[in-house]
Amino acid sequence: MGNRSVSYLIGADENGLGPRLGPMIVTATLARVAAGAERLVTSAARGALAERLGDSKDLVAHGNITLAEAWSRVLVARGAGGHRQAGTPADLLDALSLDDAARLREPCPAHVEAQCWSTDRETFPDQLDDLRGLVNNDLDQLASQGVEIVAVRSVVVCTRLLNRAAKRGESRFAVDLHAMERLVIALRDLCDQPIEAVCGKVGGYGQYGKVFGPLGGRLHTVLEEGRARSAYHFPEVGEVAFVRNADASNLLVGLSSLVGKYLRELLMDRIVDHYRRQDPKLPAASGYHDPVTARFVSGTEGQRQRQRIPSTCFERQRAQQRPAKR
C-alpha cells in the first residue's frame, strides 16, 4: 500500500481544440499533496498567486505568453519534466512531451518536417528572470503548504494526426479525451497508490464509458454523470472526473492550461516562422479562426504549392460522418 498520509492529484486540460491551424496540446500536472492540503488544489488560486496561476485564457494571449513560458521553464528546471535541461525552447518541448522526438516526427513526410520542427531561430526572451523568480517562490510556497508539483506532461497532436482521426470519423473531442486518458495512465505509473484526476470537461459528453480510448475496457464504476461533472472509479488507477470550467476552479488544471498554452504558441510560431522566412510580410497568425489567420492561409498558398506541403499537414479538416449502421 502507498503512503496514505499523502494523496496524488492530477489536473488535465487542452489547448487548441478549435483552431484552424497548428496542433492541439493536452497537458496534465501531477502533485503530491499532504493530508489536509487538498483544498489548495481543488480550488482556484487566491491572492497574489491568482495573478500568475489560473486559466490561461485569463492570464496569457497570443503574442504575450511570457507568464506561461516562465512556468514551463521553472517546472522543467525543478525536475517536473522528463529531464531538467531547459536551455532552449526545444529542450522544454522535449522535457514536457509525453512522446519522444522520434514519435513526434513519425507522422511527418520528410519534406514537410521543416514546417514544424525548425528550431534554429528560437530563443528565450531576456526579461524573464524576475518573473521566473516569482514562479519559483510560488512553487516553494505551495510546497511549504503541502502541495509539491511532481510531474507535468503534454501530448502534442499535430494537424496531420487530427486530420487522420477526422478521416476515421473521430472528432477532436475524442482525440482530446484519449490524450487525457494517456496522460492520466502515464502519471499514475509514477505513483505508489491510486490517483484522483480532474480533467476539463470534453465536448458535450455526459457519459464517457462508450467513448473511452486507453481506459476503454477497464473495469470501472460510474460515480456520477451529468452536464457539469462526470466521474468514474478505476481499480488500480483511481478516480477520474471530467469537470466543466475546471481550468478556472482547479489549481492543477489551471497550471496545465498555462503549460499547454506555451507549447501551443511555440509550435504555432514555428509554422509561421517557416513561411515568413521567405515572405516577412506575412502576418504573425495565431492559427485561430480570425482575419489574420485567414490572410496567413491565403498568403502562404504559393509557398505551400512549391514546397508540396499536403493540405492535411497545414489546415484542419472536419471529421467525416461515419456511415449509419444498417
Residue 78 lies in a domain: yes
**Contact by Cβ (8 Å): 10, 184:** yes
Average pLDDT over residues 276-282: 97
pLDDT band for 321, please (50, 70, 90 cuts): low
Quick one: pLDDT at residue 300? 99
**Contact by Cβ (8 Å): 104, 22:** no
Could you give the CA distance from residue 53 to residue 262 in angstroms, rounded to a whole number?
Answer: 13
Number of domains, the chain: 1
Question: Looking at 107-116, 125-134, 213-222, which range is the least confident one?
Answer: 125-134
Average pLDDT over residues 3-21: 93
Could you give the CA distance from residue 5 to residue 210 in angstroms, rounded to a whole number?
Answer: 35
Query: Which residue carries 489574420 as its cell?
Result: 292
Residue 28 lies in a domain: yes
Question: Looking at 77-81, 128-132, 193-197, which range is the least confident one?
Answer: 128-132
- Report the share of the chain in percent with pLDDT over 70: 96
Quick one: pLDDT at residue 308? 98
* Residue (of 92, 99, 95) closest to 132 by Cα position: 92
DSSP SS3 for 152:
strand
Q: What do you get for the CA distance between the two ends of the chain, in Å? A: 50
Quick one: pLDDT at residue 1? 38
Could you give the CA distance from residue 213 to residue 199 in angstroms, rounded to a whole number?
Answer: 15
Identify which has the larger pLDDT, 166 or 320: 166
Average pLDDT over residues 219-248: 95
- Report the share of the chain in percent with pLDDT over 90: 86
Average pLDDT over residues 211-220: 95
Residue 206 lies in a domain: no
Residue 223 lies in a domain: no
Q: What is the overall mean pLDDT for the chain? A: 94
**What is the per-residue DSSP string for 74-130?**
HHHHTT-SSS---SSHHHHHHHHBSS-HHHHHTTS-GGGHHHHH--TT----STTHH
- What is the maximum span of the chain, computed from C-alpha positions, in angstroms? 63
Quick one: pLDDT at residue 285? 98
What element of type H or E holds 272? helix 251-276
How far is CA 58 from its chain centroid? Answer: 16
User: Looking at the predicted structure, is the pLDDT value of residue 325 above 60?
Assistant: no
The DSSP letter of residue 63 is T
Identify which has the larger pLDDT, 181 or 319: 181
Quick one: pLDDT at residue 240? 98
Residue 314 lies in a domain: no
Q: Over the Cα atoms of the chain, what is R_g?
A: 20
Quick one: pLDDT at residue 55? 86
**What is the per-residue DSSP string for 203-262?**
TT-S--TTT-STTTTS--EEEEE-SSEEEEEETTTEEEEEETTGGGT-HHHHHHHHHHHH
Residue 1 lies in a domain: no
User: Looking at the predicted structure, is the pLDDT value of residue 326 above 80?
Assistant: no
Strand duo 147-157 + 24-34: pairing: antiparallel
**Contact by Cβ (8 Å): 203, 171:** yes
Residue 199 lies in a domain: no
Question: Looking at 160-169, 200-209, 239-248, 269-278, which range is the least confident one?
Answer: 200-209
Residue 300 lies in a domain: no
Q: Give 137-141 contacts, CB < 8 A, sequence gap 24+.
A: 138/49, 138/52, 138/53, 139/74, 139/75, 139/78, 141/49
Quick one: pLDDT at residue 149? 99
pTM score above 0.85: yes
Q: Which domain holds residue 174?
A: 6-178+248-269
